[in-house]
Structure 1
Amino acid sequence: MLCLIILNDYVTSLVPKDGPLLGNMYKEIEDFLKEEAKNPIPFFSTTVLLAPICEEVLFRGIILNGMLKNKIHPIKAILFSSFLFGITHMNPWQFLGGILIGSFIGFIYFITSSIIDCILLHVFNNAFAIFTMFFFMKNEETLSKQKNFNFWLILIISFTIIMGCVFLFKKRRKK
């Protein structure tokens, strides 16, 4: 999951953060998050506990599970539920992240049929995002100069994710 979070961060960093439309939207989201971060306990509990439970029950437990039970091809079902998951986040950065992370968690649901696994992965993703957000807010000047993604790191991470998915898929086939 950590590899996917890093890959997700790279992919979403490709979406522009400036310009008349996206620049204003990004600034509003950034201001909103900074304001919410002033009350860390409600912000953390909503983002790291409540949202993952509600979102996973809806998108994996109801939508994806329902599509799989109705014999819709797993790839179509996973991508559709991930697309809906991304759309509900209502901004281009989380839309891409929602599709990427949602597809991975959907795949995990398809392999394990465990909503608890999906909730725990989502909790980990959101907790990691919150902790890095607090870290970046405190070290913004230093880190803005170092935000260079290494091609080889992304390649290795992508390979690790693919191999992990292949391993899980083979494990499911044995059952």
Structure 2
Amino acid sequence: MEGKSVAKKYIFDGKGALALVSGFMAGSFLVAILNVISVFAFNVNMQYQDYYLIVANAAGFMGAIFAFDYFIYRPKIGKKLNFNMSSPNLMTYLLIFPMMFGMMLIAEFTTSLIPITGPFFGEYYQYFTDLMAKMTSNKATLILLAVIMAPVFEEIVFRGIIMKGLLNKGMKPKTAIIISAVVFGLVHANPWQFVGAVLLGSVLGLVYYKTKSLLLPILLHAFNNLCSSILIFYNKTESFADTFQVSEWLLLGLGIVLFTTFYILFSKKYRVHYIEN
């Protein structure tokens, strides 16, 4: 009797990390070269144009994804990189969005505990706020970057490639979720976004692990960034507490209730671990 064929799986290790980093750097370097050509040939510095952040972001992430696909995934699997983008039933959406919103409120409170003054944090926070002001000066650019591009590219890399590769390696789900969330936080390169990214990244990882659909963390990520963008548009802040003039402790309590309630309901619905095709 012939044995059943075992589906090929890739793993995420040092080679995979090197491919992602190298691909990102190559994409970013290409944009830098194009900018130099633009300066000398047309006397236009693209760094001062609204579209530069869009082009640079897209080139970096596309370079990372292409490098991983070409050098890691295809040699192992024998076909191009692909992701499960299936949509679940309505009940799943009704569970994961309140759960995500609850964690958003928890993340806001936790982030507010990080100092924004002092010899180190003060200067760093000023640099961070100036950078964010530049990024959010154009509404169309912010929406395209934060609500569309970031959720798609970042979820492909951090959940679709890194987390899934760690799971394929045999790592425990909780560990894989936490590691991918921490790496997700680290790439934001500042302590204020790091905390929120780790907390929210853990929810995104949980949803991806339970449902096996990358569509859901992409939508949740977009939901978080859309809420932040709307707050920035109308109140120049990402804080729900500041915008609605309510206590941060009240929002923390609401966040804990929302997250805990819908986490329990979601976990019961997806109690069985379904194997992804």
Would the TM-score normalized by the shorter structure come out above 0.5? yes
| Structure 2: gaps of 5 or more residues | 1-99
Q: Would you say 1:109 and 2:187 are equivalent positions?
A: no
- 2:119 aligns with 20
Letter in 2 for 1:64: M
Using the size of structure 2 for normalisation, the TM-score is 0.58
> What's the offset of the Cα at 1:122?
0.3
> What's the offset of the Cα at 1:26?
1.1
Higher RCO, 1 vs 2 (CA within 8 Å, ≥6 residues apart): 1
Post-superposition, which runs of at least 4 consecutive aligned residues in structure 1 deviate over 6 A? none
Residue by residue over 1:28-71, the C-alpha shift from the partner in whole angstroms, topping out at 9 and shown as x without a partner, is 12112222222221222011111111100000001111111222
- 1:125 aligns with 224
Residue by residue over 1:42-101, the C-alpha shift from the partner in whole angstroms, topping out at 9 and shown as x without a partner, is 222011111111100000001111111222111100000000000000000111011000
Letter in 2 for 1:5: M
Letter in 2 for 1:171: K
| 2:265 equivalent among 150, 154, 167 | 167
Using the size of structure 1 for normalisation, the TM-score is 0.89
Q: In the alignment, is the contact (CA less than 8 A) between 1:111 and 1:168 conserved in 2?
A: no
| SS state at 1:173 partner | coil
* Structure showing greater Rg: 2
Letter in 2 for 1:169: S
Residue by residue over 1:99-124, the C-alpha shift from the partner in whole angstroms, topping out at 9 and shown as x without a partner, is 00000110111111110001000001
Change (3 A) 1:156 1:35: closer
Percent of residue pairs identical: 33
> What's the offset of the Cα at 1:147?
6.1
Q: How many Å separate the matches in 1 of 2:206 and 2:269?
A: 13
Q: How many Å separate the matches in 1 of 2:134 and 2:180?
A: 30
| 1:158 equivalent among 253, 256, 259 | 256
What is the number of residues matched between the two proteins? Answer: 171
> Within 5 A, what are the aligned runs for 1:23-42?
23-42=122-141
Residue by residue over 1:1-51, the C-alpha shift from the partner in whole angstroms, topping out at 9 and shown as x without a partner, is 222211111110110111111111111121122222222212220111111
- 1:94 aligns with 193
| SS state at 1:93 partner | helix
| SS state at 2:271 partner | helix
Letter in 2 for 1:73: K
Q: How many Å separate the matches in 2 of 1:134 and 1:156?
A: 24
